[in-house]
Amino acid sequence: MKITDAKVFVGGPGKNYVTLKIMTDQGVYGLGDATLNNRETLPAAYLTDYLIPSLIGMDPRRSEDIWQFFYRGAYFRRGPIAMAAIGAIDMALWDIKAKLAGMPLYQLLGGKSRDSALVYAHAAGADLEDLIASIEGYVAQGYKAVRVQCGVPGMPTASYATPDIKGGTAPFITDFSGIRPKTEIWDTEKYLRFMPAALAEIRARFGPELKILHDVHHRLLPREAAAFAREVEPLGLFWLEDPTPAEDQDALKLIRQHSTTPIAIGEVFNAIWDCNKLIENELIDFIRVAVTYAGGITHVRRIVDLAGQHHVRTGFHGAPSHSPISMAAQAHLNIWAPNFGIQEYLVLGTPACDALFPSDHHVTNGLQYISDAPGLGVDFNETEAARYQYQPGSHPVVRLEDGTLWNY
């Protein structure tokens, strides 16, 4: 069996999804997602210029050897661009393998460990009242877990993932007005004075059952993060995410020494080597890698297994930039992983998105139910794809009020 061709498409409804389609001499094809938010043309070029020429002619069933070939063979290893490209190939090869077996992918991983997988939605408000209304909306839809992000009084701009105005919707992180980023202003002291009390009000308002998550988005220093985690400890958060930038794995020790608030980290990690110390030293509770830029199912499964030895559960990244293909790959891992925790899930099911990526994976009452179709269980409509093209966009950058650049 041989790979005969592979094509890359960039575009989608309001997103720049990077979709890989691998064709074989037996008519079976596989799909992968290489989307790297706001850098989408780069994994696309890495695939087209460097990986696909070698891929053609290979046996698609040898997914392990192909992974090793592109990872070890590159010499310059890792990084989000290369790992997103390798990840897309890997997803597509598992899609082919499961289609050949006539089974949904989860059966090849070890079968179902649960009937459905818990997901969390994103609630956001320009202020606390606005945020509470947003949470109420998700609770009314049956969500059991909600990430809560709130504008901070006195902060000169909206905070991470919050709307500018009351009643507005939180923007999708990408600003499509161009490549040059807008600036958000950040003030740690204002945030630290406001956010723990806001979380306490949310807990009091919604009671003990709601699973409350909060994303600090890398903004605090380790000592500040430790103090924050300790202060909110009585609220029983489901998790506190990215309290501090994770380049420094040792920084998480300080947080752990001062608090039992569960910590989630890893959406920007590309490899097991970014989180092995965090996991082995049991400094985190949830690992947030994504099958896209952490090298696909083959590599993420290794991270999940390491995590499982150390009481670390999964909480895969599911920002809106992930296409239904990687969300499907994660759905199969979620239904299998013995150490599954939660899945970040943003409503993908717009009519335009469903037309581009038909599937019957679905979320009902805050639970994700998996498709039993062979493979990943998601398809790609090339006629629909022809309607879209790449649109340049960017994340904001963050500065302190005096102009110092900070972590977005």
Is residue 231 a contact residue for Mg ion (CB under 5 A)? no
Q: Which of 106, 160, 345, 388 is catalytic?
A: 160
In angstroms, give the least distance from the CB of 168 to Mg ion.
20
In angstroms, give the least distance from the CB of 172 to ligand CS2.
9
Q: Binding residues for ligand CS2, per CB under 6 A? A: 37, 173, 215, 217, 267, 317, 319, 321, 344, 395
In angstroms, give the least distance from the CB of 53 to ligand CS2.
29
Q: Kindly indicate which of the ranges 37-45, 128-136, 207-215, 301-309 contains the residues binding Mg ion, using the contact rule CB under 5 A.
A: 207-215
The residue among 90 and 267 lying less far from Mg ion, judged by its C-beta, is 267
User: Could you say which of Mg ion, ligand CS2, none residue 173 binds, taking C-beta under 5 to 8 angstroms by partner kind?
Assistant: ligand CS2
Known active-site residue 160: yes
In angstroms, give the least distance from the CB of 240 to ligand CS2.
12
The residue among 37 and 371 lying less far from ligand CS2, judged by its C-beta, is 37
The residue among 20 and 229 lying less far from Mg ion, judged by its C-beta, is 229
User: Could you say which of ligand CS2, Mg ion, none residue 231 binds, taking C-beta under 5 to 8 angstroms by partner kind?
Assistant: none
**Could you say which of 33, 90, 130, 215 contacts Mg ion (CB under 5 A)?**
215
Q: Which of residues 294-323 bind Mg ion (CB under 5 A)?
A: none
Q: Which of 217, 218, 317, 332 is catalytic?
A: 217
Q: Which of residues 240-299 bind Mg ion (CB under 5 A)?
A: 267
The residue among 103 and 319 lying less far from ligand CS2, judged by its C-beta, is 319
In angstroms, give the least distance from the CB of 27 to ligand CS2.
36
CA 287 remoteness from chain centre = 11
Closest by CA to 17, choosing from 395, 394, 396, 389, is: 389
Q: Kindly indicate which of the ranges 127-135, 211-219, 222-230, 307-315 contains the residues binding Mg ion, using the contact rule CB under 5 A.
A: 211-219
The residue among 51 and 268 lying less far from Mg ion, judged by its C-beta, is 268
In angstroms, give the least distance from the CB of 241 to Mg ion.
5
| Distances 184 to 160, 278, 324, 398 between C-alpha atoms, Å | 8, 30, 30, 5
User: Could you say which of Mg ion, ligand CS2, none residue 37 binds, taking C-beta under 5 to 8 angstroms by partner kind?
Assistant: ligand CS2
User: Could you say which of ligand CS2, Mg ion, none residue 344 binds, taking C-beta under 5 to 8 angstroms by partner kind?
Assistant: ligand CS2
**Can you read off the two tokens belonging to residue 265?**
């980290």
The residue among 215 and 285 lying less far from Mg ion, judged by its C-beta, is 215
Looking at the annotation, which residues are catalytic?
160, 217
Which positions lie near Mg ion, rule CB under 5 A? 215, 267
